[in-house]
Structure 1
Amino acid sequence: MRLIFNVPGTNLTYIINHKGERLSPKEKKEYRLETVRKLPRGFVPLHAVLLKNKKRGIAISGSSGSGKTTLAEILVNKFKYKLVANDFIVVWNQKGNLYASDLNSKENNRGKQKTKLTSVFFVSDKDKRDIYKQSENEFFEHFVGTLYPLDRNLLKKFEQEDVYRIIRALHICLGNKTSNKQRWAEIINSYYNSKKIARIGIIGIGTIGNTLLNLIIAKPWLRILNIISTDRKKLKGISLDLRSANPQVLVNISKTYRDLFNNSDLVVIAFNVKNEPLVVFGGERNMKIYSHAKVIWEISRSVRNSKYRGFLLVVTNPVDIMSWALYEFSNINDKGYRDWNGLYSNQVYGIGLGLDYKRMQVLENNPENNLELVGEHGENLTLCRVIDESKLSVMKNDKLLKLIKEYSPEIRKYTDRTIFGPVHEIYEVLQVIRKRSGEMRVSLLNDNGVVLGDVVKLQNGIISRKFEYKNNLQRKLESLEKVQRVYYKLLKKNGAGEFGGVKK
């Protein structure tokens, strides 16, 4: 039997002589892979489904069984996409635009046309993050894995293609496979419906919250300011004062956390529980871990109820653990079971690593600008050296690390607390998120499901790591991850009956 495979919108046609009168799905896949081997320069294959609607065309790529077909069905049924191709596609660049089309038999492709491609989503089997960009190496390994059993040396030729590089720059990866595919579909939909940040919410009006309010009240992009605190009398006075500072900004005293989330594009969590017994799990910033976690649980209920899709900046200590708690708790229902109806990993950012980095710059003369910090804000920082502008390796300098950790206590020898450094760090991160582009040092969920500080780039609202880790740094961070998981287990165990607790 003579088979003809083609790619609509191109001149690509392949003739295959098939032994037999019927073609099984397995044989069809093998013939498609055979045509991939013959693709000329300028064309890149993807094991993907292709969908389109009136506004955009998207490809969803993944290995067999990764969930891409189920995700495509949800997008078709709930978000009105049309399925164009459901297994293999070819992508090319035409006059500055990416196009994709079905790699299929001529009979199945009858009437089909090329589709202008606006986004490429990869689905990951292992990564714990919900949405992110892969590194160059991660992207290639994923690309190879989806086209198994094709030889990786054969596929390396595509790395040299401009089309491949455009796809890599354009791609978005969906992880956290343990969540449901409905969540993936909603992440895609929310990515295309992002709003400008003009409404800010602040939880906690202590020294940090107050100073931040003063810093942003006169900004021309600010339209609405929502504030909440247990000190209602103080709130009233601050509200009156802020309105006189800028009558053009609407200042609201939120009655509940839910009211605040319903009316905010970005929320800063800067509360500090007073007069609570200290529960010390290790380190100064962890002294109120349990009492602060109880408040985070309460906040997470409102995040769920409001279906909040804005951003959250966590300043309350311990920053890394509270950021994890907010993300984790928001995805747990009131009975203590994880249902993944809460926050996405790219919504929560802990603030502190950037401040540690600036303090390092004060303490260390580094004209080469080749030092970085990663790890837990404050207590468990790791000093690194930048290698070849793309990788981080552990650097030994205990004296410098000690001085960085003692920076806050040194300030408090002369004044009540640190103010200006933390507040300006909050504002810098806020600005990067508001512009949806830039570099920042924040604590966020990593690929292993642990929140630690890292240097990241934000591109069109999607996070990617700036550096890859050398083996010595990878091992050190894996040890730190084990420590963090101990805290997580303590919160889950001690939280049962107090702030829900995790049962599954």
Structure 2
Amino acid sequence: MIYYYKLENKILFSFHKHDGLNNISEKEARANKGNLYFLNKMDPMKSRRSFLVSDPSLLFINREGLRLLLLDDGDYSLNLPNWIIDRINNKSVISINTEYPNWQIALEEGPKDKWNVNTVALGDVGSTLLIGLRLLGGDCINRIGIYDRNENRSKRWLHEINQIRKTFNPKAFPPTEAITKKDLFNCHMLIFCASKGVPPVGSNIKDVRMIQFESNSEIIKEYARLARSSNFKGIFAVVSDPVDLLCKVAFLESNKDPDGNMDFKGLASNQIIGYGLGVMYGRACFYAEMSEDTLHFLEEGRIFGPHGEGLIVANSIKDYDEDISDYLTEKTLSANKVIRSFGFKPYVAPSLSSGALSIISTIKGEWFYGSSYMGGCYMGSKIRLIKGHIEVERLKLPAKLYERIKESYERLVTII
């Protein structure tokens, strides 16, 4: 049975009764042409506060996890009215988890116009990302706020970035302003680029990203707590390494009360997105272009997993080949070491591919590669943000590929 409700002019429906909500008829619900909100009940530690319902099967799940990647194209016409299925097909149904105490926030609509974005830390990555946003974000970014603990660094970039002008069109790029720490979360997206302890070029370290985990965890905890105290409702974008693990740290820390107990009153898991996979796609494309045997990746391939160990490059979804995929995965994972062998830190491509370009795609509602919450960990895949809610691409994945992805997923779940 389906129950229909109305709350603040929003139409809700559920398979469960919800005391305290205003009951309405199916006819009244159907007459409303706005978004529909489906109310579910799942453990908030293992599920998102809200997500876009991209196919009917997502209304019937009782837990979230890696199977979010698998397409279920079954016939649900006997379980749901056709008009609800039509709304799902039109990207107009959002699922909300009422086990989050502040679940009603998900009923609020996101920004309709250009976004205000703030960036934290202006080191190599943050400053390069800033350049990308300034040059490429004019049609979707209203303002860029910059913050760095080193005040002179903020002043430097305030001057430098605002002196980048297009001749005879001086206002073509979004204005940039220096902000204080208390204004960090006065925005639609907070971009976290802070990092500490990046190993110098020439150091013989197998996985640079994991070396940064402990120090960067302490930094992101501070900002996660600040997001909570600021009642931040936007996107908390994590660019610092290791991206996927830091996303989980931010989620956990933001949702602790003063006594350290989880109360889920901070950042919802779906508010946090990891931006590390865009460059892995870029690197895979770079190596795939070197041979006719791998060129098909550009049209048929996908990337899954974390930004680092556990990454899976799939040469093709429709014609998956383990050997070719393993080759592309190995080349992609070692690409940063190649740059280091030249005597340079590999930060330009990550800052632009994973950072600026993917962030702009997020704002525009375009597909990009990012890490989103899947039942206990942040897992990288093809996603997009529709009406302020994440849609995960769902595919008919080959069995062998899915097993590879599952191994990577289970490893991430056990780390934190």
TM over 0.5: yes
- Aligned partner of residue 261 in structure 1, secondary structure: coil
What is residue 198 of structure 1 aligned with on the other side?
115
Paired residues of 1:197 and 1:266 also in contact (CA < 8 A) = no
**1:444 & 1:465 partners in 2: Cα distance?**
8
Matched, 1:216 2:115: no
What is the RMSD computed on CA atoms of the aligned residues?
A: 3.3
> Could you tell me how far 1:350 is from its partner in structure 2?
1.0
- Aligned partner of residue 383 in structure 1, secondary structure: strand
Question: Larger Rg: 1 or 2?
Answer: 1
CA deviation vs aligned residue, 1:189-236 (integer Å, no higher than 9, x gap): x3x253534322111111121122223335535443322223222222
Of 314, 323, 326 in structure 2, the residue corresponding to residue 398 of structure 1 is: 326
- Aligned partner of residue 236 in structure 2, secondary structure: strand
CA deviation vs aligned residue, 1:335-389 (integer Å, no higher than 9, x gap): 211111111233221112121112111112333622211011122112335545x
What is residue 149 of structure 1 aligned with on the other side?
none
What is residue 246 of structure 2 aligned with on the other side?
322
Going from structure 1 to structure 2, the CA distance change for 1:461 and 1:238 (only over 3 Å counts) comes to: same
Going from structure 1 to structure 2, the CA distance change for 1:100 and 1:200 (only over 3 Å counts) comes to: closer
Going from structure 1 to structure 2, the CA distance change for 1:163 and 1:119 (only over 3 Å counts) comes to: same
Larger strand proportion, structure 1 or 2? 1
Of 49, 64, 68 in structure 1, the residue corresponding to residue 4 of structure 2 is: 49
- Aligned partner of residue 119 in structure 2, secondary structure: strand
Relative to the length of structure 2, the TM-score reads: 0.80
Matched, 1:367 2:367: no
**2:75 & 2:360 partners in 1: Cα distance?**
43
How many residue pairs get aligned? The number is 381
Percent of aligned positions with the same letter in both sequences? 19
Matched, 1:290 2:221: no
Matched, 1:90 2:7: no
> Could you tell me how far 1:142 is from its partner in structure 2?
5.5
What is residue 439 of structure 1 aligned with on the other side?
367
What is residue 430 of structure 1 aligned with on the other side?
359
Paired residues of 1:297 and 1:326 also in contact (CA < 8 A) = yes
Of 132, 135, 146 in structure 2, the residue corresponding to residue 227 of structure 1 is: 146
Unaligned runs of 5+ in 1: 1-45, 77-82, 92-98, 102-114, 144-152, 489-504
Paired residues of 1:52 and 1:84 also in contact (CA < 8 A) = no
What is residue 178 of structure 2 aligned with on the other side?
253
**1:275 & 1:470 partners in 2: Cα distance?**
38
> Could you tell me how far 1:131 is from its partner in structure 2?
1.0
- Aligned partner of residue 227 in structure 1, secondary structure: strand
Matched, 1:409 2:337: yes
**1:471 & 1:238 partners in 2: Cα distance?**
49
Q: Which deviates more, 197-206 or 235-244?
A: 235-244
Q: Tell which has more relative contact order, 1 or 2 (C-alpha 8 A, sep 6+).
A: 2
**1:154 & 1:217 partners in 2: Cα distance?**
46
Residue identity opposite 1:464 in structure 2: E
Paired residues of 2:59 and 2:95 also in contact (CA < 8 A) = no
What is residue 453 of structure 1 aligned with on the other side?
380
**1:305 & 1:452 partners in 2: Cα distance?**
27
- Aligned partner of residue 412 in structure 1, secondary structure: helix
What is residue 192 of structure 2 aligned with on the other side?
269
- Aligned partner of residue 361 in structure 2, secondary structure: helix
Of 290, 299, 321 in structure 1, the residue corresponding to residue 223 of structure 2 is: 299
Paired residues of 1:172 and 1:462 also in contact (CA < 8 A) = yes
> Could you tell me how far 1:459 is from its partner in structure 2?
2.5
What is residue 86 of structure 2 aligned with on the other side?
165
Of 122, 130, 150 in structure 1, the residue corresponding to residue 38 of structure 2 is: 122
Q: Which deviates more, 134-143 or 227-236?
A: 134-143
- Aligned partner of residue 237 in structure 1, secondary structure: helix
Paired residues of 2:296 and 2:315 also in contact (CA < 8 A) = no
Residue identity opposite 1:239 in structure 2: L
Going from structure 1 to structure 2, the CA distance change for 1:253 and 1:476 (only over 3 Å counts) comes to: same
Relative to the length of structure 1, the TM-score reads: 0.67
- Aligned partner of residue 366 in structure 2, secondary structure: strand
What is residue 491 of structure 1 aligned with on the other side?
none
> Could you tell me how far 1:57 is from its partner in structure 2?
4.3
Matched, 1:345 2:264: no
